[in-house]
Structure 1
């Protein structure tokens, strides 16, 4: 099997698996019931995982600290999102803050 054939096969298998997972939700929703405690824990787990992803992306670059400018930009974006600014405004505020700090020489 050539590498191109293997790549196409792996892509097809991953695509089929993704489709199966997405289809399983609506199909099994009527058959599987979760307790209210499990639903609450699942909701909390989603928030914790997203928070960890944001923290990792904001604070690290490669294997080290990303510098001060990026976390400050993320904090400004978070503040704008908390104040219910439009998504575009949140992204622009975070990017402008980070760019301005880097332009001023803050790493």
Structure 2
């Protein structure tokens, strides 16, 4: 969401040292995001574009879903199984809000 804000936003993580697993994926979407120890800096606004990314944990997968919703085009997010921990009905809820989201599995690659 900070990619939409004007200027530089800084997030400082003081509890968990690896709360930056989403950074590489966000860069793939076109985010101007950097890390420096516990600090994550996001410069904006930037226009995000579709990407093929992997969410390594629930926070990363959620950040990638939000980025995909703001990007114009079709994105692929792997690692969506992490979202089942806290967001079991995320895709139906997003669809009810007008998002075009499809869940595929390795056994069913075509929805």
Q: One fold, TM greater than 0.5? A: no
When Rg is computed on C-alpha atoms for both structures, the one with the higher figure is 1
- Structure whose residues are more often strand by fraction: 2
Scaled by the length of structure 1, the TM-score of the pair is 0.23
- Higher RCO (C-alpha 8 Å, min separation 6): 2
- Structure whose residues are more often helix by fraction: 1
Scaled by the length of structure 2, the TM-score of the pair is 0.22
